[in-house]
Amino acid sequence: MSMQGTENGPAGTTGSWGDQGDGTYRNPILNADYPDVDVEQVGGTYYMISSKQHMSPGMVILESRDMVNWRALGHVWPRLCWDRKYDWDRMDGYKFGVWAGDLAYHDGRWYCYQIDTTTGLYMSSAEDIRGPWTEPHRMLEKSGWTDPGVAWDDEAGEAYMVCNFGRGEGGNEIRLFRMSRDGRDLLDGGAVIHRGLGAEAAKIYRIEGRWYIFLAQWYRPDPHRPDHPEADTGDRKQLVLRSASNSLYGPFEHRVVLQRGNGVIRSCSQGALLQAPNGSWWYMHQLIQNVPTPFQGRPQMLEPVAWVDGWPVIGKDVDGDGIGEPVLHFRKPVDGFPVCAPATDDDFDGDVLAPQWEWNHNPRDSHWSLMERPGWLRLRAGVPVGEGGFWKACNTLSQRMMGTGKGTAVARFDLDGMAPGQCAGLVRFGGVFHLLGVRVGEDGSKRLFFSANGEPAMGPAVPVDALWLRTGNVGNRADFSYSFDGRHFEPFGSAFALAFGMWTGDRIGFFCWNDRREAGHLDVDWFRYDYDGPKGSPA
């Protein structure tokens, strides 16, 4: 890795993906679990939202000046407050919560929309992207919908929303609704403007007086399937509908504009169209989970866009069939901004949690604090809901795994406040969980333990209150180790495989619960995470 700085900010660390520090980038530019993004440009700044299901706070917001280097600003929803199943005393919202959304800026106000498939369509708005955002307003009480996208037609004085209306004859229906100008209400039952296999994630754009709708759609079997043993037989390609008139209701022509290829075997679709200050066009999209081991989740790719006869070609047409494939290494859209990435390290010196952290379901606020012991994160132990163990233990705090190469995360803990019946420590989880921590016996003795998605394997006694826990991975193979002095680490527990599950890639964080009583706490001094991608934040 190397350090690259510019006059616009301090140096950041380059790595195997993202900004290369030489005016180019390598895809993915955001190699972590940031799925279902939408990006809105205001002036020379780009703002991204990304879903994360049952994690709280919900709908992370990121900011970039060059489309390549991103930093987290915060979240739209401090809590998932529209349904009790996301609360700490139920924790029944796995796979649900915040799904793909839409971010819009109109007449000096920000709008964010998303559909919880179990309860309905919600929106919030704000004057400042950093908030405060209004309480979620339910626009429609209906399940089964996904992927809202909005647009205002100021010339006609109209506003619109598109949604995937679920499966029907001929595939999913993409419906277009008239929306109130204040962005709060749907005014009709929607008109079907497209049907297709798995059609979803529609976004509306108006370019040079013509309406375009970008959406993702499955093609099975895929006529462009890569010759690779892990390639799925189907492919979700990026499709564009182009209005043949000046009406959003069509009629539409359509064309496939992006597909996997050029060494990429995961499907490439669902994202946002962007424009650089120099007038060039770009497209941000995710890699979906149609490979056997998408353990880091759904990362973000950035592609150049060329316009040919009024149609976008996304990426590079490698095989000459008129459809773009992803680029692997390309020049940056905008020069002059420093290497950075969403923050990972934390000294817990502030009075609010840094935006990289998210709770597994809504937190129990009485059971965590940054102020009881300034400079430390305190997690108080509660009894899990029912017999669920880790999956039902409140106040698990985590952040996204970064990259798919090498990574090492280390945290320092103070065990002095732990009580009999309590277990706490470091966790990696996605589709499965693995724990390395300390369990306190009824006599107050402390022992190390490792759990691989089930019963713990007990380890040595822990004779001190200061404990360092570390997890490392090479690809999807990970392990744990511990230290009593912060210098010499000993492995404990077997190596294990990281796994995608419940729409979530691998996450790293802290757990703390008590099997028997409301007693004990864990103090976290700091967390450090090094990986094979860009690090650093501009001033």
**SS3 category, 249:** coil
Q: Please tell me the predicted confidence (pLDDT) of residue 536.
A: 74
Considering the candidates 200, 358, 523, 530, report the single residue annotated as catalytic: 200
- Contact assessment for residue 423 and residue 515, using Cβ atoms and an 8 Å cutoff: yes
d(CA 439, CA 120): 41
* pLDDT at res. 386: 85
Strands 507-514 and 422-429: antiparallel
Query: Mean pLDDT, the chain, as a whole number?
Result: 95
* Per-residue model confidence (pLDDT) at position 455: 83
> Phi and psi for 498 in degrees, rounded to 5?
-80, 145
Does 538 score more than 60 pLDDT? no
Tell me what pLDDT residue 5 has.
41
β-strand 466-474 against 477-483: which pairing, if any? antiparallel
pLDDT-based confidence at residue 387 (cuts at 50, 70, 90): confident
Q: Which pLDDT score is estimated for 168?
A: 67
Please indicate whether residue 230 is annotated as part of the active site.
no
**CB distance 39 to 55 below 8 Å:** no
Enumerate residues 6+ apart whose C-beta is below 8 A from 356. 72, 342, 343, 344, 346, 399, 400
What's 77's DSSP letter?
E
Query: Do residues 62 and 300 lie in contact, with contact meaning Cβ atoms separated by under 8 Å?
Result: no
Report d(CA 36, CA 60) in Å as an integer: 11
**What pLDDT, on the 0 to 100 scale, is given for residue 537?**
56
What is 358-531's CATH number, 1.10.10.10, 3.40.50.10420, 2.60.120.200, 3.50.30.60?
2.60.120.200
Query: Which residue among 19, 36, 38, 235 is the active-site one?
Result: 36
Give residue 418's pLDDT.
98
What pLDDT does 146 receive?
A: 92
Residue range 166-180: average pLDDT? 87
Q: What is the mean pLDDT of residues 298-326?
A: 97
Residue 170's pLDDT is 76
Is the confidence at residue 10, as pLDDT, over 60?
no
Q: What is residue 165's predicted lDDT score, i.e. its pLDDT?
A: 84
pLDDT digits (tens, 9 = 90+) for 217-252: 999 999 999 999 999 999 999 999 999 988 999 999
Residue 239 burial (CB count, 10 A): 21
Contact 392, 386 (CB under 8 A): yes
pLDDT tens per residue, range 32-84: 999 999 999 999 999 999 999 999 999 999 999 999 999 999 999 999 999 99
Which of 162, 202, 163, 160 minimizes the C-alpha distance to 181? Answer: 160
pLDDT at 4 over 50: no
User: Does residue 7 surpass a pLDDT of 50?
Assistant: no
Please state the φ and ψ torsions of residue 367, each to the nearest 5 degrees.
-115, 20
Give the pLDDT band of residue 182 (cuts 50, 70, 90): very high
Q: Is a pLDDT exceeding 90 seen at residue 9?
A: no
CATH number of 11-331: 2.115.10.20
Q: Can you tell me the mean pLDDT for 514-534?
A: 97
pLDDT tens per residue, range 133-157: 999 999 999 767 899 999 999 999 9
With pLDDT > 70 as the criterion, what percentage of the chain qualifies?
97
**Residue type at position 165:** F
Q: Give domain limits for the chain.
A: 11-331, 358-531
User: Backbone phi, then psi, for 86, in 5-degree steps?
Assistant: -90, 0
Task: Assess whether pLDDT exceeds 90 at residue 498.
Answer: yes
CA-wise closest residue to 36 among 402, 288, 401, 304: 288
> Model confidence over 424-454: pLDDT tens digits?
999 999 999 999 999 999 999 999 999 999 8
Cis peptide before 384 (omega within 30 of 0): no
317 annotated active-site: no
